[in-house]
Structure 1
Amino acid sequence: MARIAVIGAGLGALASAARLAVAGHRVTVYERTETYGGAVRRLERGGFGFDTGPGLLTLPAVYRDLFVKTGRKPLEECVELVQVDPAARHVFADGTEVALPNASRAGVVAALDEALGAGAGARWGDFLVRAREAWDRTRRPLLEEPLWPDWQVLTGQEPYPAVPHKRLLRTRRAGTLAEIGAWELRDPRLAALLDGHALAYGLDPGTAPASAAVLPYMEHAFGTWYVRGGIRELARAVYERCVERRVEFVFGAEVVRVLEKDGRAAGVELAGGAMAEADLVVGTGPFRLAGLAAGRELYGAGAVRPVPEDRRPGRMVVCLALRGAREPGAAHRTVVHGEGGLGPFREGLLPERPTVVVDRPDDPALRPDAEHESVVLTATVPAATEYDWAAPGAADAFADRLTAAAGRAVPGLGERLLWREVRTPLDTERETGATGGAVPPPALAGPGGALHPANSTDLPGLFAAGGWAHPGGGLPHAGMSGALVAGLIVEGPEFRGSQ
Structure 2
Amino acid sequence: MARIAVIGAGMGAMAAAARLAVAGHRVAVYERTETYGGAVRRLERDGFGFDTGPGLLTLPAVYRDLFIKTGKEPLESVVELVQVDPSSRHIFTDGTEVSLPNASRAGVVAALDEALGAGAGGRWGDFLIRAREAWDRTRRPLLEEPLWPNWQVLQREPYPAVPHKRLLRTRRACTLYEIGAWELRDPRLAALLYGHALAHGVDPGSAPASAAVLPYMEHAFGTWYVRGGMRELARAVYERCVQRKVEFHFGAEVTSVLEKDGRAAGLELSDGAVVEADTVVGTGPWRLRGLVPGRELYGTKEVLPGAEDLHPGRVVLCLALRRAREPDAVHRTVVYSPDPQGELGLFSHGEMPNLTVRIDRPDDPALRPDADHESVVLTATVPCGLGYDWATPGVVEALADRMVSAAERAMPGLRERILWREVRTPVHTERETGATGGAVPPPSLAGGEGTLHPSNSTAVPGLFTAGGWSHPGGGLPHAGMSGSLVAGLIVEGPEFRGSQ
**Same fold (TM > 0.5):** yes
Q: Which amino acid aligns with 1:349?
A: E
Matched with 2:307 is 308
Tell whether 2:224 aligns with 1:225: yes
Greater Cα offset, 301-310 or 242-251: 301-310
Deviation at 1:345, TM superposition (A): 6.3
Matched with 2:457 is 456
| Number of positions where the alignment pairs a residue of Structure 1 with one of Structure 2 | 497
Deviation at 1:342, TM superposition (A): 3.1
Matched with 2:271 is 272
Whether contact under 8 Å (1:204, 1:341) holds in the other structure is no
Whether contact under 8 Å (2:312, 2:347) holds in the other structure is no
Tell whether 2:364 aligns with 1:363: yes
Cα deviation digits, residues 311-366 of structure 1 (max 9, x gap) = 11111110011000001111000000112323156363222x31011000000000
Greater Cα offset, 462-471 or 300-309: 300-309
Q: Distance in 2 between matches of 1:73 and 1:346?
A: 46
Matches within 5 A, 1:141-156: 141-155=141-155
Counterpart pick for 1:341 among 331, 340, 343 = 343
Q: Distance in 2 between matches of 1:95 and 1:180?
A: 23
Deviation at 1:448, TM superposition (A): 3.2
TM-score by length of 2: 0.98
- The 3-state SS of whatever aligns with 1:24 is coil
Tell whether 2:483 aligns with 1:472: no
Tell whether 2:97 aligns with 1:107: no
Tell whether 2:10 aligns with 1:7: no
Q: Which amino acid aligns with 1:405?
A: A
Whether contact under 8 Å (2:146, 2:471) holds in the other structure is yes
Greater Cα offset, 245-254 or 200-209: 200-209
Whether contact under 8 Å (2:349, 2:387) holds in the other structure is no
Whether contact under 8 Å (2:349, 2:388) holds in the other structure is no
The verdict on how the C-alpha distance between 1:442 and 1:347 changes in structure 2, with shifts beyond 3 A counting, is closer
Tell whether 2:43 aligns with 1:43: yes
Q: Which amino acid aligns with 2:33?
A: T
Matches within 5 A, 1:67-146: 67-146=67-146
Q: Which amino acid aligns with 2:392?
A: A
Q: Distance in 2 between matches of 1:212 and 1:341?
A: 18
Matched with 2:374 is 373
Deviation at 1:395, TM superposition (A): 1.1
Matched with 1:205 is 204
Matched with 2:280 is 281
Matched with 1:350 is 352
The verdict on how the C-alpha distance between 1:415 and 1:202 changes in structure 2, with shifts beyond 3 A counting, is same
Q: Distance in 2 between matches of 1:329 and 1:292?
A: 51
Q: Distance in 2 between matches of 1:65 and 1:224?
A: 17
- The 3-state SS of whatever aligns with 2:257 is strand
Q: Which amino acid aligns with 2:113?
A: D
Q: Which amino acid aligns with 2:325?
A: R
Deviation at 1:385, TM superposition (A): 2.9
Matches within 5 A, 1:287-306: 287-306=286-305
Matched with 1:179 is 178
Q: Distance in 1 between matches of 2:54 and 2:21?
A: 27
Matched with 1:408 is 409
Cα deviation digits, residues 107-130 of structure 1 (max 9, x gap) = 000000000000000000000000
Deviation at 1:447, TM superposition (A): 2.1
TM-score by length of 1: 0.98
- The 3-state SS of whatever aligns with 1:342 is helix
- The 3-state SS of whatever aligns with 2:89 is strand
Whether contact under 8 Å (1:443, 1:449) holds in the other structure is no
Q: Distance in 1 between matches of 2:294 and 2:93?
A: 48
The verdict on how the C-alpha distance between 1:484 and 1:408 changes in structure 2, with shifts beyond 3 A counting, is same
Whether contact under 8 Å (1:211, 1:449) holds in the other structure is no
Q: Distance in 1 between matches of 2:450 and 2:298?
A: 19
Q: Distance in 2 between matches of 1:416 and 1:177?
A: 38
Tell whether 2:158 aligns with 1:159: yes
Q: CA RMSD of the aligned region, Å?
A: 0.9
Cα deviation digits, residues 210-232 of structure 1 (max 9, x gap) = 10000000110000000000110
Deviation at 1:178, TM superposition (A): 1.0
Deviation at 1:411, TM superposition (A): 3.2
Deviation at 1:296, TM superposition (A): 1.1
Q: Distance in 1 between matches of 2:467 and 2:114?
A: 41
Give structure 1 stretches of 5+ with no counterpart. none
Matched with 1:248 is 247
Q: Which amino acid aligns with 2:212?
A: A
Matched with 2:442 is 441
Cα deviation digits, residues 242-294 of structure 1 (max 9, x gap) = 00000000000000000001110000000021101100000000111111112
Percent of aligned pairs sharing the same letter: 80
Whether contact under 8 Å (1:123, 1:184) holds in the other structure is yes
Matched with 2:55 is 55
Q: Which amino acid aligns with 1:25?
A: H
- The 3-state SS of whatever aligns with 1:76 is helix
Whether contact under 8 Å (1:358, 1:378) holds in the other structure is yes
Whether contact under 8 Å (1:205, 1:341) holds in the other structure is no
> Displaced runs of 4+ in structure 1, greater than 2 A?
339-342, 344-348
Whether contact under 8 Å (2:441, 2:474) holds in the other structure is yes
Tell whether 2:196 aligns with 1:194: no
Greater Cα offset, 431-440 or 389-398: 389-398
Q: Distance in 1 between matches of 2:386 and 2:237?
A: 32
Q: Distance in 2 between matches of 1:485 and 1:95?
A: 46
Q: Which amino acid aligns with 2:159?
A: Y
Q: Distance in 2 between matches of 1:249 and 1:295?
A: 29
Matched with 2:319 is 320
- The 3-state SS of whatever aligns with 1:113 is helix
Q: Which amino acid aligns with 1:254?
A: E
The verdict on how the C-alpha distance between 1:374 and 1:150 changes in structure 2, with shifts beyond 3 A counting, is same
Q: Which amino acid aligns with 2:388?
A: Y
Q: Which amino acid aligns with 1:57?
A: L
Q: Distance in 2 between matches of 1:412 and 1:448?
A: 45
Cα deviation digits, residues 422-464 of structure 1 (max 9, x gap) = 1110110000000000011111001236111110111000000
Cα deviation digits, residues 148-197 of structure 1 (max 9, x gap) = 21101111x21001111111111111111111011000000000000100
Q: Which amino acid aligns with 2:273?
A: A
Give structure 2 stretches of 5+ with no counterpart. none
Q: Which amino acid aligns with 2:400?
A: A
Q: Distance in 1 between matches of 2:226 and 2:387?
A: 33
Q: Which amino acid aligns with 2:170?
A: T
